[in-house]
Amino acid sequence: MKIEKMGLLIILSGPSGSGKDTVLNELSKQDDDIKISISLTTRPKRDWEIDGVHYYFVAENYFLRKIECNQILEYAVYNGNYYGTPKSIIDQWLANGETVILKIEVQGAQKIREIYPDAVSIFLMPPSMKILKERLFKRESEKNDEIQRRLSIAIDEIKRATEYNYIVVNDLLDYAVSDIRAIIRAERQSSPRLEYLINEVIEND
């Protein structure tokens, strides 16, 4: 029986302002073999965001229809808006043996672990609440009350960090990126993922 190369599913969570987008941007520059899932959301687009690049920005009835048609792998309501991971592309990437990263919040992470028990989860931790607050205010994406809501969600999220396989502190960006790359490198070489090599090596006598 031929054992296929397994894909690697990585969950990246972390409170708003923890730097997930910056880290992912840097990671994808450094590692061509990473596929980053683009979620659907009903949240309004920020000025700098591009539809189809950062998210697919959709209307709520469209999102709900996608759920009904079983085209959403997992979804969550965060701060009053829907966010969801498209299903078919993820299945396709994993079947092709790719490394796939989902940038999702804690409820979605929990659902993905139930569906894919082999998924590897990483929690991106801010160095402190003070720094998180500064980052959220500095990026000027949200109004004051929205930032306060995100900070209060952040505390609940941080309390759940031990549900994750790894915690990476995003103090200095380069270190956080290199820590995540190290985790991905090690996980790609875990023995169940390289089982397909056994026959290849033996057969190439």
For ligand 5GP, the binding residues (CB under 6 A) are 16, 20, 39, 43, 74-76, 78, 83-85, 103-105, 107-108
Least distance to ligand 5GP, CB of residue 202, Å? 41
Least distance to ligand 5GP, CB of residue 19, Å? 11
Least distance to ligand 5GP, CB of residue 27, Å? 15
Residue nearest to ligand 5GP (CB): 108
Q: Considering just the CA atoms, what is the radius of gyration of the chain in Å? A: 18
In the bound state with ligand 5GP, the residue whose beta carbon lies nearer, of 103 and 184, is 103
In the bound state with ligand 5GP, the residue whose beta carbon lies nearer, of 142 and 194, is 142
Least distance to ligand 5GP, CB of residue 150, Å? 7
In the bound state with ligand 5GP, the residue whose beta carbon lies nearer, of 20 and 113, is 20
In the bound state with ligand 5GP, the residue whose beta carbon lies nearer, of 105 and 187, is 105
DSSP string, the chain: -PPPPPPEEEEEE--TTS-HHHHHHHHHHH-TTEEEPPPEE-SPPPTT--BTTTBEE--HHHHHHHHHTT-EEEEEEETTEEEEEEHHHHHHHHHTT-EEEEE--HHHHHHHHHH-TT-EEEEEE-S-HHHHHHHHHHH--S-HHHHHHHHHHHHHHHHTGGGSSEEEE-SSHHHHHHHHHHHHHHHHTSGGGGHHHHHHHHHT-
Least distance to ligand 5GP, CB of residue 45, Å? 10
In the bound state with ligand 5GP, the residue whose beta carbon lies nearer, of 149 and 188, is 149
